[in-house]
Each structure stands twice: as structure tokens, then as C-alpha cells.
Chain A
Amino acid sequence: MNTTPQSASVSKAIVVEAGIERAFEVFVSDFGRFKPPEHNILGAPLAETVFEPHVGGHIVDRGVDGSECRWARVLAYEPPHRLLISWDLDPRWQIETDPARTSEIEVRFIAEAPNRTRVELEHRYLERHGEGWEGIRDGVDGANGWPLYLRRFAELLAT
């Protein structure tokens, strides 16, 4: 499980039986339907997740009590070919306000046939979340640090 900065990215690809326009449209408009629902840091139950379809927009989790969490920024919006969003959560599962310490996710849509699209996803620059790690080390305690993070990880794997 050793990870070096050079390998600090996650790459995925999937082929869907849908045309490229629809593949892109569903990815954006239904993002909240397929995103693993436990991935949110709201204090209230999740009501909806909205992917704002324009550069400068956000991916927003909204709780039933009206609270909001904007955990991603839309950096590129190029239908139907490409999306680029940031990941503004730090390893302690808190909103990261320094863009220099956020990673990014590129999603590419490639038409393989009129009704078949390859979707490639790369979540990269994960090492940026590690910068300043020593600085936040003081905050890594039993309540909010690695134990919380690892518990989230366990919950994900258990579902």
C-alpha cells in the first residue's frame, strides 16, 4: 500500500451503451443519483446533489435542513467531450479552502459507436492534499483525524 507522489492518481474507465451526448448529459444531470450517498459531510440527511453545469459552478450537496456543502468546483465544462472538476475535501474530510491543496478530476467521453461511449476518469494530483500535512498534524487527533478518515473508509468498504 505504499504510495509515491508519482503514483498519486486514480484512473478508471468504463464503456456505456449510450451515445456520447446522452452519456455526458446523464453524468452531469444525474451525478447525485450515482454518487455513493455516504460521501457527504453535511450534518443533516442528504436531500440532493447538484452539479452546476458551467465553469465556475460547483457540485453542491444539500441537506434536508437547507445546509449546503460545495465540495467541488467546475473547472472545465466542454459537452459532450470533457469535464474537469476539483476535489475540495482534505484528508480529514473537511472542506479545503486553499486551491493549491486540492486535487482534480478529469472526465473524458469518447464515442466508440453511435450508441456506445467510453468514459475515462482520472483523479490526479492527490499529493497536493499531502502538502501542509505537517502543518495540520496538530489537528490530527482522535476525534477528527485519521481515525475518522479510516472509519469513513471502512464504512465505504462495508457497504
Chain B
Amino acid sequence: MDQLATLADPTRRAIFERLADRPWAVGELAGELPVSRPAVSQHLKVLKDAGLVTDQRAGNRRIYRLDPEGVGALRDYLDQFWTRALDAYKATVEQQSEEVS
């Protein structure tokens, strides 16, 4: 599942937006949102698998925050960007070579 599809779910989006403000524990999020704690945990797992959030154990709690690397989506974006750029470059350079020869 890509990151866009991950955030298309309104509950996950709500969780994500709260984590953009500060780190949260699972129980805190469950107290804020109209969903059960197991449901929050499941949404957090999906967000984590998508590379959007990361977690850290603090005592018996698990604290979630936005992925501090913040590069997963950037990398995917750039992968697409350079693939398209180089394909277009190849077309450009080979077209010009034909014109010259």
C-alpha cells in the first residue's frame, strides 16, 4: 500500500495529523479519537509499514511520531522523477543525433 492510499483513510489521517504536532502514545490517541485502542494500534501499524511513522518503547508504553528520517516518500518521489527525466533525456538526445546525422 502506498503512502497516499494509507492516508486516504480518515482515521489514519487524523492520527497522522496529530503525530505531526508531537509524539503520542497509543493510549493517548485512543482517548482522543472515536475508535478503540486495538483499532488505533492497527492504524499505527499500517502507517509504520508505509514508512510514515516510527515508534519507540518508553517503559511499558509505545510512543509514535512521524518518521524522523522523513525521506521515504522523498526517495520514492525522486525515483519516479529521475526515471521520467532520463527517459525524456534519451528521447531528446537521440532525436537530435538523428537530425545531425
Q: List chain A positions with a Cβ less than 8 A from chain B.
A: 1-5, 7-10, 12, 14, 16-18, 22-23, 26-27, 30, 33-36, 39, 91, 115, 119, 121, 123, 126-127, 129-130, 133-134, 137-138, 140-142, 145-147, 149-150, 152-154, 156-157
Check A26–B73 contact: CB distance below 8 A.
no
| Chain A residues whose C-beta falls within 8 Å of the C-beta of B83 in the assembled complex | 12
Check B7–A150 contact: CB distance below 8 A.
yes
Given contacts A3-B72, A121-B82, 12 further A-B contacts (CB under 8 A): A2-B49, A3-B71, A5-B69, A18-B96, A22-B93, A30-B92, A91-B73, A130-B70, A146-B16, A152-B77, A153-B4, A153-B80
- B contact face: mostly helix, strand, loop, or mixed: helix
Query: Nearest chain-A residue to B80 (Cβ)?
Result: A156
- Using known A-B contacts A16-B89, A26-B89, determine if residue A123 contacts B69 with beta carbons closer than 8 Å: no
The interface on chain B, measured as residues whose beta carbon lies within 8 A of the other chain's beta carbons, has a size of: 44
Query: Nearest chain-B residue to A30 (Cβ)?
Result: B92
